[in-house]
């Protein structure tokens, strides 16, 4: 069942229509007093979500949404603004980054009308507005405000301003979806129903993410992507038709899906960061159009194999997996974040990003009682989940950094995905070689392995004279975004990340690796 804005009806009539079949929820028309009602939606009805409402005095009331995401709750005596949260059933963890996050979204209702129904929907758009308000109050993101449990000090003007601030990114998409009076659409207060049209057409193609604050390890601000994992912001408005086409392919059983589980070297980047690109951003272009391959690239900057999973990025893609699909597992850069002595973020890195490599004999290393900490264990989570859905996991070593034997920018480039106890000067508990651990994992699990580290090392050493044309080293005069960046310029090259030419070169190396791997002959046949 889908959700959309109702058109051309008075609010009371719309609510009665919407809630006529609310399961265990009472009909709003049968309730007396001040009533809160709405729809929780996250890529569709947020079925059976726990709905919690908090007010300016810290009072709370709780109910549960029905199978269509609808809820009704009496809120007599509550003092606005109200903060509404929706959390998936079965997992209440919205805050602890060391464990898998629940799907959590929120909303702010600026004003409350007494003795009548009040609409308060909760969705990706309302969560982005909540995130903006939270950050004005110096929280890292919306969850910090929600955990505080009160709206004290929040004014209706601030709520309205933050709601309006992101409207330009969605306005044309709302119009394209047929939403009447799109200019005045409010993601919280505009009534919604389950008919698959209107705003639901927009909500269905939005991928909701809450970020991660590197220094503290707590959840960060809300970001929105489209179904092809492109950024959605005022300077990058949602292209509804493109997003719908991408979503249709992701769901189409006649397509083969290739999921990329990875980090910033594979990510899809915002247009303002061009020419920065990840290899996954252009990988789909290498397949024959008639082969019907859809690449799902939800690779994320700064994420390790452990917190990529915990923050739900794999889950967002894995919902589309079918037998015969592929999952490319490409981690190793950020798993090395194990130095507890690192200024500011060391403790957060060890708690949330760090995984430990195998020792020189191939044995897994981890603190007692922390079985999630070996890099191999973390990688094998994806292997198990892919195979459980009949998909084929592929594992890759990380792309190289342009580092010489002294671990500094320079040549010849040598393998560099390892840690030593001396590096951390006591802050690294277990050291070893991450690329070798990936090879260990491939052997133990009989996985197709693409050694992209070796391929990119060879490529870098062949391009000593022009390597800055492939890795990120641009002229800020030509690309103003980089004028204030600490790296990625000709004066201070980024030795890890790529610009467009490099991303395309690495994507080509991945394709070549597929062709060189006999177990991947079926996938290789789909490549150009």
> Residue 429 — φ and ψ, nearest 5°?
-80, -40
pLDDT (average), residues 290-295: 98
- What pTM did the predictor assign? 0.94
| Residue 202 CB contacts under 8 Å (≥ 6 apart), including other chains | 170, 173, 174, 177, 179, 238, 240
3-state helix, strand, coil in the chain (%, to 5): 35, 20, 45
Taking all residues of the chain, what is their mean pLDDT, rounded to a whole number?
Answer: 94
Of 373, 330, 359, 356, give the one whose Cα is nearest residue 424: 356
Q: What is the pLDDT of residue 6?
A: 33
pLDDT (average), residues 38-67: 97
pLDDT (average), residues 148-160: 98
486: exposed, middle or buried (C-beta count within 10 Å: 0-12, 13-18, 19+)? exposed
Is residue 8's pLDDT more than 50?
Answer: no
pLDDT digit string, tens, across residues 373-410: 999 999 999 999 999 999 999 999 999 999 999 999 99
Confidence grade of residue 444 (pLDDT, cut at 50, 70, 90): very high
Unique residue bearing structure tokens 């129904």:
117
pLDDT (average), residues 420-445: 96
Is residue 22's pLDDT more than 60?
Answer: no
Whole-Å CA distances, 102 to 180, 198, 205: 33, 27, 20
Indicate the fold that domain 4-179 takes in CATH: Immunoglobulin-like (2.60.40)
Q: What is the pLDDT of residue 26?
A: 54
In whole angstroms, give the CA distance from residue 119 to residue 101.
28
In whole angstroms, give the CA distance from residue 450 to residue 442.
10
pLDDT digit string, tens, across residues 327-357: 999 999 999 999 999 998 999 999 999 999 9
Is the preceding peptide bond at 412 cis, omega within 30 degrees of 0? yes
Of 143, 188, 198, give the one whose Cα is nearest residue 162: 188
pLDDT (average), residues 210-223: 97
Q: What is the pLDDT of residue 194?
A: 54
Q: What is the pLDDT of residue 29?
A: 65
Q: Is residue 351 a contact partner of residue 413, using CB atoms and an 8 Å limit?
A: no
| Residue 158 CB contacts under 8 Å (≥ 6 apart), including other chains | 133, 136
Q: What is the pLDDT of residue 32?
A: 87
Q: What is the pLDDT of residue 201?
A: 94
Instruction: Kindly state which CATH superfamily the domain 252-524 is placed in.
Output: SGNH hydrolase (3.40.50.1110)
- Locate the domains of the chain by residue range: 4-179, 252-524
**Higher per-residue pLDDT: 54 or 24:** 54
Q: What is the pLDDT of residue 193?
A: 73
pLDDT (average), residues 149-166: 97
Is residue 17's pLDDT more than 50?
Answer: no
Q: What is the pLDDT of residue 21?
A: 30
Is residue 426's pLDDT more than 60?
Answer: yes
pLDDT (average), residues 254-276: 98
pLDDT (average), residues 263-276: 98
- Please indicate whether the domains covering 4-179 and 252-524 agree at the CATH topology level: no
Q: Is residue 38 a contact partner of residue 88, using CB atoms and an 8 Å limit?
A: no
Is residue 126's pLDDT more than 50?
Answer: yes
Is residue 14's pLDDT more than 70?
Answer: no
């Amino acid at each position: 069942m889908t959700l959309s804005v109702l058109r051309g009806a008075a609010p009371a009539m719309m609510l009665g229509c919407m809630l006529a079949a609310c399961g265990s929820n009472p009909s709003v028309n049968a309730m007396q007093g001040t009533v809160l009602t709405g729809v929780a939606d996250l890529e569709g009805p947020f079925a059976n979500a726990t709905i919690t409402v908090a007010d300016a005095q810290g009072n709370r009331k709780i109910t549960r949404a029905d199978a269509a995401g609808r809820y009704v709750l009496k809120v007599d005596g509550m003092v606005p603004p109200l903060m509404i949260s929706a959390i998936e059933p079965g997992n209440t963890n919205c805050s602890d980054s060391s464990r898998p996050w629940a799907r959590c979204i929120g909303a702010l209702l600026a004003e409350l009308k007494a003795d009548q129904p009040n609409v308060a929907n909760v969705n990706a758009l309302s969560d982005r507005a909540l995130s903006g308000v939270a950050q004005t109050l110096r929280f890292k993101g919306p969850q910090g405000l929600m955990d505080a449990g009160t709206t004290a000090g929040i004014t209706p003007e601030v709520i309205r301003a933050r709601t309006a601030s992101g409207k330009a990114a969605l306005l044309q998409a709302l119009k394209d979806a047929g939403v009447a009076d799109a200019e005045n659409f409010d993601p919280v207060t505009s009534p919604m129903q389950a008919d698959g049209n209107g705003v639901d057409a927009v909500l269905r193609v939005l991928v909701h993410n809450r970020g991660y604050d590197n220094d503290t390890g707590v959840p960060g601000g809300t970001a929105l992507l489209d179904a092809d994992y492109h950024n959605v912001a005022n300077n990058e408005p949602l292209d509804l038709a493109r997003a719908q086409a991408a979503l249709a392919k992701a769901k189409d059983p006649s397509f083969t899906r290739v999921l990329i589980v990875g980090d910033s070297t594979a990510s899809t980047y915002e247009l303002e960061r061009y020419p920065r690109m990840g290899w996954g951003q252009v990988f789909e272009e290498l397949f024959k159009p008639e082969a019907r391959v859809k690449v799902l690239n939800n690779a994320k900057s700064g994420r390790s194999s452990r917190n990529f999973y915990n923050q739900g990025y794999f889950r967002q893609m894995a919902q589309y997996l079918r037998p015969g699909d592929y999952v490319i597992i490409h981690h190793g850069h950020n798993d090395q974040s194990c130095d507890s002595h690192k200024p500011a973020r060391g403790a957060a890195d060890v708690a949330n990003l760090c995984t430990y490599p195998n020792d020189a004999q191939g044995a897994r290393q981890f603190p007692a009682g922390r079985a999630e900490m070996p890099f191999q264990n973390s990688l094998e989570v994806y292997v198990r989940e892919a195979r459980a859905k009949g998909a084929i996991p592929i594992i890759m070593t990380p792309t190289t950094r342009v580092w010489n034997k002294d671990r500094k920018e320079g040549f010849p480039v040598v393998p560099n995905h390892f840690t030593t106890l001396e590096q951390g000067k006591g802050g690294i508990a277990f050291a070893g070689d991450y690329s070798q651990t990936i090879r260990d994992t491939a052997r133990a699990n009989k996985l197709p392995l693409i050694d992209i580290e070796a391929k990119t090392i060879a490529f870098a050493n062949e391009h000593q004279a022009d390597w800055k044309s492939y890795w990120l080293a641009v002229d800020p005069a030509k690309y103003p975004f980089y004028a204030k960046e600490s790296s990625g310029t000709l004066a201070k090259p980024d030795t890890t990340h790529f610009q467009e030419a490099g991303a395309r070169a690495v994507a080509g190396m991945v394709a070549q690796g597929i062709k060189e791997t006999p177990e991947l002959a079926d996938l290789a046949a789909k490549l150009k």
